Structure 1
Amino acid sequence: MNILLTGGAGFIGRWVAKKLLDEGHNLWILDDLSNGQITNVQEFEGNPNFKQFIQGTILDEELLQRLFNEHRFSLCYHLGASINVQDSIDDPRTTFNNDTLGTFYILEQCRKLNTKIVFMSTCMVYDYCDKSAGIDELHPTKPASPYAGAKVAAENMVLSYYYAYNMPAVVIRPFNTYGPFQKTGGEGGVVAIFLKNDLEGRELHIYGEGTQTRDLLYVEDCARFVVEAGFNDRVNGEVVNAGLGEDISINDLALMITGDPSRIQHVEHIHPQSEIQKLLCNSQKAKELLGWVPEISLAEGIARTRKWIGDGGLDR
């Protein structure tokens, strides 16, 4: 099967690419390297199924048209996006163009060939969780940042193509994903940043009070979920969550990682208006439709990520 993966040089994209190649599919990766890194895909260069890396933007309609016409993709995993909440607040135009307009351009090419699209959205579209059962797909949305707003708009466009054109499409909402190959600097995730600082003997900085909770999903579990959504028609026209099903406060996460309360410091929140106080995922729909359940516990995932960063990972 010929597959296009946008954002394949990114953190999650790298693991999705690996799984698709391990399963023997012909893969093309399109990435403008604004978030991703070419080093994430260099290991695939000797794989005969890794057909091409294209450095380019999803906003280039001529490039998209040429790629789809030449390779007749059966499936498009659309992960390419601007993903930083603060960047979206500072510069909403760029996030809207990449996340909403870029998705529209991808959809137009998929429509011509009836290519299935797996659209990567985010748990950041949800309002906070107010129930012990967690956030399911019917939970209220609250786009508290332009990033979340752009994703909601793109989700609706994706689903409109399913209903208007009978084009196979699914919207997936993974919760906070972490693991090896995630950036450990300012643009990285909280687990990677905390682990890097802990390994270097530095303080762990927490935005705000640290009582906000996150449902942390290990990246290989996430990649398995993403890939399976592409090969199962039962999720067509659906929105599907994926998470660990357990949440942890940022305070407790920091203490779990460092074990030393004196090395934890609270700092002023950079975007308190876009903070979601409680995120807890209900993945029952993914279990029912895909047979997907997470396999890696938080403790095991953190241990694996610590080892990767400690071994040098990629210098980030």
Structure 2
Amino acid sequence: MNVLVTGGAGFIGRWVVKRLLEDGHRVTVLDDLSNGAESNIEAFKAHEGFRQFIRGDIKDEALLDEVFKHPFQLCYHLGASINVQDSIDDPGTTFDNDTVGTFRLLERCRLHRVKIVFMSTCMVYDRCLDESGITEAHPAKPASPYAGAKIAAENMVLSYYYAYGLPAVVVRPFNTYGPFQKFGGEGGVVAIFIKKKLQAEDLQIYGDGTQTRDLLYVDDCARFVVQAGYSDRADGQIVNAGFGRDISINDLAKLIAGGESRIRHVEHIHPQSEIQKLLCDYSKARRLLGWEPQVTLEEGLKKTEDWIRTIL
């Protein structure tokens, strides 16, 4: 197939591109590089299936019209503003990128009958209340403009499925980590912690560190995202992916640092938008896609640390 990947030069995007190329597809990447880096996909440019990299904004309608002159069968939409604190400081930019940008892309997918897989986030959920995990029917709680913009975009995506019969899937991966994740910002807690460990610096934890995360290795995440595009059974659905095990940030820091001596707690920058417990129930992904995670947290941490060592 001819496949368009927005945000394909980003952290998860480059792994999606890698898997699509390995599966024999022809891939075009559209990315404004606000979160990604062209170096992330440099190794793919010599691949016979890599068509082109286009630096541009998904809100640029003239650009989208030009991009969609080439026929696509499938669009993976990963391009977005992703930082919670940025969305609190400047909600307009996040709304424009994540909601309006998604609408602009949806219109082209509708006009050209291109299936769309929309990358949402586990941050749309309210906290997990028990050990059974968060299913897709779990209550949403947009505790940040980032989460609110993603929910709005999800609803637009699903409306195109119902109103126009456009094949569309909403995917909600839980906290993804692994090689090529940036060290800066708030989302890459694993990468940040490992980098600080390797540089003999203190690991700083927001708040009391009892908040938990369900950590999904990036190659497992990419495999999930790609399979959602291949499967007709997922059309019109919201689908979670996670490891199915949560860990407190305190315990994660101890696991990475090998002890508590270099762990420091600092004031939380946005406690009002913190989700205290995130634990994924991925049974729907298993049922619809035959997907399950393959990389354990311990294996994933080692893979990530090995990669970070090569670039420090």
Same fold (TM over 0.5): yes
What's the counterpart of residue 75 of structure 2? 76
1:48 partnered with 2:48: yes
What's the counterpart of residue 25 of structure 2? 25
Alignment of 1:1-316 (within 5 A): 1-69=1-69, 71-186=70-185, 188-312=187-311
Shift of 1:186: 3.0
The secondary structure found in structure 2 opposite 1:216 is strand
Structure 2 residue identity aligned to 1:207: Y
Alpha-carbon separation, structure 2, partners of 1:186 and 1:200:
18
The secondary structure found in structure 2 opposite 1:217 is strand
The secondary structure found in structure 2 opposite 1:143 is coil
Alpha-carbon separation, structure 2, partners of 1:274 and 1:135:
18
Structure 2 residue identity aligned to 1:7: G
Structure 2 residue identity aligned to 1:66: E
The TM-score, its normalising length taken from structure 2, stands at 0.99
Alpha-carbon separation, structure 1, partners of 2:299 and 2:261:
25
Shift of 1:260: 2.4
* Deviations 1:90-143, CA, capped at 9 Å, x for gaps: 000000000000000000000012110000000000000002110000000000
Alpha-carbon separation, structure 2, partners of 1:10 and 1:38:
8
Please, which runs of 5 or more residues in structure 2 have no aligned partner? none
Q: For the Cα contact (< 8 Å) 1:99–1:151, is it kept in 2? A: yes
Structure 2 residue identity aligned to 1:13: G
Shift of 1:65: 1.1
Alpha-carbon separation, structure 2, partners of 1:229 and 1:43:
25
Alpha-carbon separation, structure 1, partners of 2:46 and 2:251:
42
* Deviations 1:228-272, CA, capped at 9 Å, x for gaps: 000000000000000000000000000000012110000000000
The TM-score, its normalising length taken from structure 1, stands at 0.98
The secondary structure found in structure 2 opposite 1:234 is helix
Please, which runs of 5 or more residues in structure 1 have no aligned partner? none
Q: How many residues align?
A: 312
Q: For the Cα contact (< 8 Å) 1:215–1:245, is it kept in 2? A: yes
Structure 1 segments, 4+ long, off by >4 Å, are: none
The secondary structure found in structure 2 opposite 1:295 is coil
* Deviations 1:26-57, CA, capped at 9 Å, x for gaps: 11000000000011010011111100000000
